[in-house]
Amino acid sequence: MEINTLVLLPEIVLSVTGILLMVAASVLGVGDQRKLAWPALAALLAGALVVLLQWGQSPRLGFFGLVFQDNFALFAKLLLLLATASVVVISKHYLEQHGSNFGEYFALLLFATVGMCLMAASADLIMTFLGIEVLSISTYVLAGFRAADKPAEAAWKYFILGAFSTGFLLYGIAFVYGSTGSTQYLRVAEAISSHGVSALLLLGMALMLVGFGFKAALAPFHIWTPDVYEGAPVPITAHLAVASKAAAFVALLRLLQQVLPDLGVQWQAVLWIVAVVTMALGNIAALSQFNIKRMLAYSSIAHAGYLLVGLTAHNGPGRGAVLFYLASYAFMTIGAFAVVQLLGQQEERYLSLNDYSGLARRHPFLAGTLSVFLVSMAGIPTTAGFMGKLYLFAAAIKSEFYWLVVLALLASGVGVYYYLRVIVYMYMREAQAEMPSVGLPLPARLTILLMVAGTFWLGLFPARVLHLASEAQFF
């Protein structure tokens, strides 16, 4: 077997930079720690560049057969790297705002990204597990980075439930190994198609689904999401909502459609129900949220439900649609959290909807851009959110899941209400109290504008990204 270490080049770049950042953090003075954002950003962009160079090469296995290099993994990696890069930019400003000085912050972000990239490219159940653990342990720490009471609670909750779900996953992997005799994706798939489905295998699949359900925040395993999202620092919330969710979805998609396609009937039935419950729960619970972070947390659960619709479709367009939607979702969610972060100010004091009253008068730029992101999340045409939903639902209709699509559309109709409510507060209500004005540093402004541009780009000219997403097939 060839070693092919180059396949892991992006991960290697990130890991080495992460270690160097750790060293640098211990050497640098307290005031200089935040400057570590720049090398972290550079490493992420370099990683993205490597991924771009790898694009289109013939798919291959690498690193002792533990990882794939196929367009599917590359598309996902590119998305994860760029999403984390924007999170780094937001984080820098966040740390300045809060006067925090933790160089480890950026190192941990890089390690988390390494874990996510491994999840996307994994060709072996052990590697998948490893990726999840690297991601999780880094984010457990990151979620607790705020020096108040709630974050500790958030981090604890996340840690306990995360550890619990890892147990499920590992147990599932053990069953799959027991029934097929291998942990390698291709061999497992081969074994299933030649020996057929056993009860043990189904049990293994079910347990793994529970594990992934926690990571991707699917109902009924979503309970931790609102608390953790609320307690974590805003940039980390964005990271959890976008990148970690995307990594979990990509890994789940590969596992189900590449390793377990022969169990399609079984997992499609399960996912159908999980999708409907997730969409309904996420949207309905979001209706009663007046804290913007909690609202976005529930909305992210709802979006996980839409993504499941594309996953359930179990066809080529469905895979492309999931990737495309993840990209759309990244633009609008990172953008929204970037605005929320600016408005939250020190100690994240201003996160209630009431604090958004009359925002259009005070900060037309922030109100306007946040509206774009919300409208996109609501799935109104000309935005990425609409195109994404169109492809997801079209894929499901292609597989004749008509009722699933009808329920998804109704759920997204419920969603419109709470997205619009934020716009109501910003544009149609008067400010209730004097609010301190918000500084708009250039990097934050640029990030937000970039996300707006991306939201419209995918909404009006989706061809390019959609083309890439549809080319992003498995090994």
Partner 1 sequence: MLLTTLLLLPGAGALFLALLPGSRRSAVAATALIFSGLAFLCSLLLLAGFEQGTADMQFVQKIRWFDVAEFHVSYHVGIDGISLFLILLTTLLVPLVALSSLRVAQIRGYMICLLTLEVGMLGVFMAMDLVLFYLFWEVMLIPMYFLIGVWGGSQRIYAAVKFFLYTMVGSLLMLAAIITLYYANGAESFDFLQILARLEEGAIQLSPLKEQLLFWAFFLAFAIKVPLFPFHTWLPDAHVEAPTGGSVILAGVLLKMGTYGLLRFCLPLFPAASLQYATPICVLAVVGIIYGALVAMVQPDVKKLVAYSSVSHLGFVVLGIFMFNVEAMEGATLQMINHGISTGALFLLVGMIYERRHTRLIEDFGGLAHSMPHFSLLFMVITLSSIGLPGLNGFVGEFLVLQGTFLERPVFAAFAATGMILSAVYMLWMYQRVFFGEAKNPANRELSDLTATEIGVLIPLAILALWIGMQSSTFLRPMDSSIEKVVQRVQQVRDSQPVRVDNRGN
From the CA atom positions of the chain, what is the Rg in Å? Answer: 21
Which of 391, 397, 419 lies closest to 302, judged by CA? 419
Cβ neighbours of residue 187 under 8 Å, at least 6 residues apart? 180, 181
Cα gap 92→446, rounded to integer Å: 14
Stretch (H or E) spanning 249: helix 245-254
Q: What is the closest distance, in whole angstroms, from the C-beta atom of residue 71 to partner 1 in the complex? A: 13
Find the binding residues for partner 1 in span 398-437 (CB under 8 A). 398, 402, 405-406, 409-410, 412-413, 416-417, 420-421, 424, 427-429
Q: Which is nearer to partner 1, 35 or 467 (CB)?
A: 467
Instruction: Establish if 463 lies at the interface with partner 1 (CB under 8 A).
Output: yes
Which residues on adjacent β-strands are paired with residue 184?
124
Among 390, 441, 456, 474, binds partner 1 (CB under 8 A): 390
What single letter denotes the amino acid at residue 85?
A
Instruction: Establish if 449 lies at the interface with partner 1 (CB under 8 A).
Output: no
Q: What is the closest distance, in whole angstroms, from the C-beta atom of residue 409 to partner 1 in the complex? A: 4
Instruction: Establish if 182 lies at the interface with partner 1 (CB under 8 A).
Output: no
Q: How many CB atoms lie within 10 A of CB 427?
A: 17
Determine contact, residues 330/246, Cβ cutoff 8 Å. yes
Instruction: Establish if 466 lies at the interface with partner 1 (CB under 8 A).
Output: yes
Stretch binding partner 1 (CB under 8 A), from 83-91, 184-192, 215-223, 457-465: 457-465
Among 100, 101, 198, 382, binds partner 1 (CB under 8 A): 382
Backbone CA torsion sign across 18, 24, 30, 32 = negative
Which of 92, 125, 82, 160 lies closest to 450, judged by CA? 82
Q: How many H-runs (helices) and E-runs (strands) does the chain carry? A: 20, 2
Q: Which is nearer to partner 1, 38 or 402 (CB)?
A: 402
Instruction: Establish if 391 lies at the interface with partner 1 (CB under 8 A).
Output: yes
Instruction: Establish if 380 lies at the interface with partner 1 (CB under 8 A).
Output: yes
Interface with partner 1 (CB under 8 A), residue total 36
Instruction: Establish if 393 lies at the interface with partner 1 (CB under 8 A).
Output: yes
Find the binding residues for partner 1 in span 338-377 (CB under 8 A). 375
Q: What is the closest distance, in whole angstroms, from the C-beta atom of residue 399 to partner 1 in the complex? A: 10
Which of 345, 353, 361, 336 lies closest to 448, judged by CA? 336
Cα gap 256→263, rounded to integer Å: 8
Chain contacts with partner 1 (rule: CB under 8 A): 316-317, 320, 375, 380-382, 386, 390-391, 393-394, 397-398, 402, 405-406, 409-410, 412-413, 416-417, 420-421, 424, 427-429, 461-463, 466-467, 469-470
